[in-house]
């Protein structure tokens, strides 16, 4: 391989195991940092409020929206106020009548969610007490209030029904419910005399076949069956004044809760009595009566649907597991692939959370677990972006001084190419050289020589790049360029020849400029050939070159040199000429066997004169047929059109020589150029 085929040099070290380990350690460190941070955040009140929103969503989407147990609410609603026609509070004799009618209808337990902590009309109280005693299954509401005594001490005071009612046999249960920070009722009251526990104890006395689990854990949560009025509601007045719409056995064996039924929105809750927010309130826009809160609690316990939070240690363990898994799966960060991994992990966690909630009655506060996945995605993506920028900057700095921007871009896009190896490609090569450079450079100072070369290289490089070529290297006063690598180019030969023509036009302008500056009138020769070559990185593991190897590389370099024999500026090999046929007019020059080759190659040069091309091709055809007279006549005709044509003069000399010494019998018109 000649000096003209010296290679475009680049240096780089392949990614080492140490670098891989550093990247893995960094990724694991990021994952652990997020796990620690989210673990700490999850213990804050603000984060807990976020987690309970997840509980609300699970409650809503897993709600059956209907009751499975005999629980009915008798609601003191607006219609009942109109039908009864009395101001509140209603006389207790009216409540006594309701109890009597419910007992007669077969109600199992009657829970009255109204406070009777003060005496009223004696006759009405007596009537109510008699109904309680006769029923034997009445539970009345009690409540705690925070009051200040006469001595200034502030204490919780329990407001029980008046002794007349408890002495008549009424059981009492506390109606207080626990409010979360956002004033939503989610937690089961865990006091031993909570209303729901007292109701179920009363139910067991008359229905021993019922075995509810009263030993719920503190912190357990209500499994709401739906939004407000998901339970059967009967207006209060329908019990007092039956319209016949209800079946006679409608209340048989029912747990009946009597209470206020006031329609209220969350914005109006401060002005309403006995209404509360539930997980459904934010979406449905309505609060729920206290009686229905207790109905949901009873439904939860009877159906064994008490929701228990997953232990904190298990949440932390899952957080660490998901954090580690997401770190390992996304450590080689790719935007799309990592996004799919991120989505898959988050969906898996949500499905697991759903399964725990709906199937095992366990609530997993999953927002911290979910958050660690996109947090790792963003963090690893950010680190990858910064590392990529740094890596590209290093590669650009390392390679931009040695190879073309196209090669650098390819290396940036495909860093795996930064290793020893190559690939065979179809490429078009160009070699240029300045005629007589050694001679005129000796007459110039070093500074003037560098100035001339730099201007020459700059002008020619711009033209090569304009025509989508790659300048592989400057070799002394020569340029090596190619098309078809590192980027594919379907019109590589056409681009190369067009570039060569424009480069020679540029040289004429540059030559005039140099002469005006007192510099030599430089001339450039160009050789072009297309063919197969191996392109890639060859060398040692510590230093290698981006290079091209192959016979056609050498041939392109040789074609540049034979220009001086024919007086041409551009010499094109047959493989490249075939690709540009029909696009750029070419003049056939000769069939040559260059140094180092055994097979002849047809060579061509660009020509815009169609008539010269016609005469030239016919003259060469006659020459190869050894029709010396016809060929000579045609060459002389060509000289008349183009005085001093060196190709024609060369062939006339050959004809004269062959007349004196005829060629060998198997001569095919090829000429051996061993010295070029």
Together in a domain, 141 and 238 = yes
Q: How far is CA 164 from the centre of its chain?
A: 71
Residues with Cβ within 8 Å of residue 40, at least 6 apart in sequence:
none
Together in a domain, 588 and 635 = no
Together in a domain, 271 and 358 = no
Of 399, 398, 340, 408, which is closest to residue 373 (Cα–Cα)? Answer: 340
Cβ pair 405, 68 in contact under 8 A: no
Confirm whether 6 is domain-assigned. no
**What is the percent of the chain where pLDDT is above 70?**
84
Cβ pair 477, 3 in contact under 8 A: no
Domain limits for position 104: 69-302
Give 268's pLDDT tier (boundaries 50, 70, 90): very low
Together in a domain, 138 and 23 = no
The CA-atom distances, in angstroms, between 650 and each of 176, 215, 396, 431, 632 are 117, 115, 49, 24, 11
Of 276, 63, 320, 284, which is closest to residue 185 (Cα–Cα)? Answer: 276
Give the pair of three-digit tokens for residue 88.
Answer: 């509140």
Which of the residue ranges 95-109, 166-180, 390-404, 414-428 would you say has the lowest mean pLDDT?
Answer: 390-404
Q: What percent helix, strand, coil does the chain show, rounded to 5?
A: 50, 20, 30
Calpha distance 580→606 (Å, rounded)? 10
pLDDT at 489: 86
Maximum mean pLDDT: which of 143-152, 337-346, 500-509: 500-509
Together in a domain, 591 and 618 = no
Together in a domain, 49 and 76 = no
Helices (H) and strands (E) in the chain, counts: 22, 23
Give the pair of three-digit tokens for residue 370.
Answer: 């979910």
| pTM, to two decimals | 0.58
Express each pLDDT in 556-600 by its tens digit. 999 999 999 999 999 999 999 999 998 999 999 999 988 877 789
The phi, psi pair for 540, rounded to 5°, reads: -105, 170
Number of domains in the chain: 4
Confirm whether 290 is domain-assigned. yes
Q: Domain containing 523 — which CATH number? A: 3.30.70.1230
Using the structure block, give the residue that is written with the tokens 């016809």: 630
Confirm whether 98 is domain-assigned. yes
Together in a domain, 664 and 528 = no
Express each pLDDT in 375-387 by its tens digit. 777 777 777 777 7
Last residue of a domain, one of 608, 636, 653: 608
The helix (H) or strand (E) run that includes residue 142 is strand 138-148
Confirm whether 8 is domain-assigned. no
pLDDT at 48: 80
Together in a domain, 92 and 162 = yes
Confirm whether 237 is domain-assigned. yes
Confirm whether 579 is domain-assigned. yes
The phi, psi pair for 194, rounded to 5°, reads: -65, 150
Confirm whether 3 is domain-assigned. no
Angle among Cα 381, 386, 389 to the nearest 5 degrees reads 120
Together in a domain, 26 and 95 = no
- Local structure of residue 401 (DSSP, 8 states): T
Express each pLDDT in 461-494 by its tens digit. 999 988 988 888 888 899 999 898 777 889 999 9
Confirm whether 190 is domain-assigned. yes
Of 481, 470, 469, 433, which is closest to residue 453 (Cα–Cα)? Answer: 433
Last residue of a domain, one of 358, 393, 428: 393
Last residue of a domain, one of 564, 587, 608: 608
Give the pair of three-digit tokens for residue 135.
Answer: 């029923």
pLDDT at 460: 93
Rounded to an integer, the average pLDDT of 124-129 is: 92
Together in a domain, 567 and 473 = yes
Together in a domain, 198 and 81 = yes
Together in a domain, 74 and 213 = yes
Give the pair of three-digit tokens for residue 112.
Answer: 């009255």
Rounded to an integer, the average pLDDT of 12-41 is: 56
pLDDT at 152: 55
């Amino acid at each position: 391989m000649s000096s003209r085929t010296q290679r475009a040099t680049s240096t780089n070290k392949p990614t080492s195991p140490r670098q891989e380990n550093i990247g893995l350690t960094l990724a694991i460190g990021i994952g652990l940092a997020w796990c620690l941070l989210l673990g700490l955040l999850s213990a804050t009140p603000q984060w807990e409020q976020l987690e309970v929103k997840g509980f609300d969503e699970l409650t809503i989407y897993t709600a059956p929206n209907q009751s499975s147990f005999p629980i009915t609410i008798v609601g003191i609603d607006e219609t009942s106020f109109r039908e009864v026609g009395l101001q509140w509070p209603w006389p207790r004799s009216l409540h006594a009548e309701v109890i009597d009618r419910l007992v007669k209808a077969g109600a199992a337990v009657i829970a009255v969610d109204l406070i009777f902590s003060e005496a009223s009309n004696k006759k009405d109280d007596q009537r109510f007490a008699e109904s309680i005693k006769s029923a034997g299954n009445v539970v009345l509401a009690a409540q705690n209030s925070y009051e200040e005594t006469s001595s200034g001490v502030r204490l919780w005071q329990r407001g029980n029904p008046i002794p007349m009612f408890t002495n008549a046999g009424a059981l009492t249960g506390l109606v207080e419910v626990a409010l979360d920070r956002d004033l939503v009722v989610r937690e089961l009251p865990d006091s031993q005399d909570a209303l729901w526990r007292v109701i179920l104890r009363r139910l067991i006395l008359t229905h021993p076949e019922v075995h509810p689990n009263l030993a719920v854990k503190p912190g357990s949560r209500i499994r709401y069956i739906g939004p407000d009025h998901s339970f059967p509601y009967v207006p209060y007045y329908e019990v007092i004044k039956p319209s016949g719409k209800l079946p006679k056995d409608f209340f048989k064996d029912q747990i009946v809760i009597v209470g206020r039924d006031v329609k209220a929105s969350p914005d109006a809750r401060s002005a309403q009595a006995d209404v509360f927010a539930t997980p459904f309130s934010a979406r449905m826009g309505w609060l729920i009566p206290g009686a229905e809160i207790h109905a949901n609690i009873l439904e939860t316990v009877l159906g064994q649907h008490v929701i228990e939070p997953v232990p904190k240690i298990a949440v932390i363990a899952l957080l660490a597991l998901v954090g580690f898994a997401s770190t390992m799966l996304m450590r080689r960060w790719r935007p799309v692939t990592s996004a799919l991994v991120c989505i898959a992990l988050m969906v898996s966690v949500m499905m697991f959370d759903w399964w725990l909630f709906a199937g095992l009655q366990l609530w997993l506060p999953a927002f911290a677990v979910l958050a660690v996945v996109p947090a790792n995605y963003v963090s690893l993506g950010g680190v990858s972006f910064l590392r990529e920028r740094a890596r590209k900057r290093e590669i650009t700095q390392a390679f931009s001084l040695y190879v073309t921007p196209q090669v650098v871009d390819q290396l940036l896009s495909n860093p795996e190419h930064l290793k020893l190896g190559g690939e065979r490609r179809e490429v078009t090569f160009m070699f240029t050289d300045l005629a007589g450079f050694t001679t005129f450079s000796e007459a110039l100072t070093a500074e003037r020589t560098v100035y001339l070369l730099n201007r020459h290289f700059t002008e020619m490089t711009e033209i090569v790049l304009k025509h989508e070529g790659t300048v592989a290297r400057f070799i002394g006063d020569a340029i090596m360029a190619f098309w078809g690598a590192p980027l594919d180019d379907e019109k590589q030969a056409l681009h190369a020849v067009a570039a060569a023509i424009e480069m020679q036009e540029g040289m004429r302008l540059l030559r005039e400029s140099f002469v005006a500056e007192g510099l030599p009138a430089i001339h450039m020769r160009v050789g072009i050939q297309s063919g197969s070559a191996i392109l890639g990185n060859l060398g040692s593991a510590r230093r290698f070159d981006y290079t091209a190897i192959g016979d056609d590389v050498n041939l392109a370099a040789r074609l540049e040199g034979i220009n001086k024999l024919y007086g041409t500026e551009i010499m094109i090999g047959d493989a490249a000429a075939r690709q540009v046929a029909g696009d750029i007019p070419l003049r056939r020059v000769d069939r040559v066997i260059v140094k180092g080759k055994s097979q002849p190659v047809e060579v061509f040069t660009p020509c815009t004169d169609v008539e010269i091309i016609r005469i030239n091709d016919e003259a060469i055809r006659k020459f190869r047929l050894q029709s010396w007279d016809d060929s000579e006549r045609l060459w002389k005709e060509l000289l008349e059109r183009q005085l001093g044509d060196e190709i024609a003069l060369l062939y006339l000399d050959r004809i004269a020589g062959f007349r004196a010494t005829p060629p060998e019998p198997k001569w095919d018109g090829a000429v051996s150029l061993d010295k070029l």
